Amino acid sequence: MDVLMKGFSMAKEGVVAAAEKTKAGVEEAALKTKEGVMYVVTNRTTEQANIVSDAAVSSANDLGQKTVEGVENVAASTGLANPADFSHGGTEGGDSGQLKQYTYK
pLDDT in tens, 66-93: 998 888 888 888 887 777 777 655 444 4
d(CA 76, CA 82): 6
Residue 30 CA to residue 52 CA, distance in Å, equals 32
Q: How far apart are CA 80 and CA 72, in angstroms?
A: 9
Q: What is the pLDDT of residue 56?
A: 92
Q: How far apart are the first and last CA of the chain?
A: 121
pLDDT of residue 36: 87
For the stretch 4-39, pLDDT in tens is 777 778 888 888 888 888 888 888 888 888 888 888
Q: For residue range 43-72, list pLDDT tens digits in order.
A: 889 899 999 999 999 999 999 989 988 888
In order, the DSSP letters of 39-82 are: HHHHHHHHHHHHHHHHHHHHHHHHHHHHHHHHHHHHHHHTTSS-
